[in-house]
Amino acid sequence: QVTFWLKKIYGDMPIPWYEVNERTVDILHEVMECQKERDNDVTLLIGYMKERAAKFEEEAKYWQDILEEGLGLSEHSLSEEAAADLADLVDCAMHLEIEDTSLTNFYSAINNLTSELYETKFKNDEMEVKVKSLTKKLTGALKMEQQLKEDIKKVEESQEALKAKAEVRAKNLKFLEDKSKDLKIQISDAENELVVRGLDKSLVHEALVKSSQ
């Protein structure tokens, strides 16, 4: 069934290659069924439109016979102004989608259009209010976003400055620690040299600190 359907669609053209398996055949079969249903719907719609067209033609012929035989009026017997008015009447009826050109139908169709116009205008006004509100909120959000970006930039710059200061302090502290260690070594070496030269050990720095404690 699927192969026959594809041949019918493509006619003399070659059918595009596809992998034949259970899944692809099932999918194509489902598409085939959908297209058949759509074709049936279109056929029914065409038939319905043909019936309506025949009905309108029959009714138009009926009224044309009445106008020509009963009143002696025909399209060709009308004046240029009357023909223009008749064309305008038909055009209005077509735009208003009315089958009967009676005054009541015209008023009813115009009232319906007027109601739709007011309803559309009301919806447009509501939409305009919503758009203004959303625009205001969006503007506020964009301003807040910009302010947050500026605040973040300031914080980052401040952190960079604090980080630079901390690095300088760390370097200074390291320098002082190294200097302190160097001085301690120099003091120890000097004390050892003084001891070698006969200095009383009780007078060296370490002994004096213990004595003080």
> How far does CA 102 lie from the centroid of its chain?
48
Q: What is the mean pLDDT of the chain?
A: 83
Q: What is the pLDDT of residue 50?
A: 92
110-133 tens-digit pLDDT: 888 888 889 889 888 988 888 888
Q: Check pLDDT > 80 for residue 52.
A: yes
Mean pLDDT of 170-197: 83
Asked if 176 contacts 190 with a C-beta cutoff of 8 angstroms, the reply is: no
Comparing 114 with 79, the larger pLDDT belongs to 114
Asked if 91 contacts 101 with a C-beta cutoff of 8 angstroms, the reply is: no
Mean pLDDT of 34-42: 90
Does residue 77 sit in helix, strand or coil?
coil
Q: What is the pLDDT of residue 15?
A: 84
Q: Check pLDDT > 80 for residue 146.
A: yes
Q: Check pLDDT > 90 for residue 86.
A: no
C-alpha 104/C-alpha 90 separation (Å) is: 15
Neighbours of 204 (CB within 10 A): 17
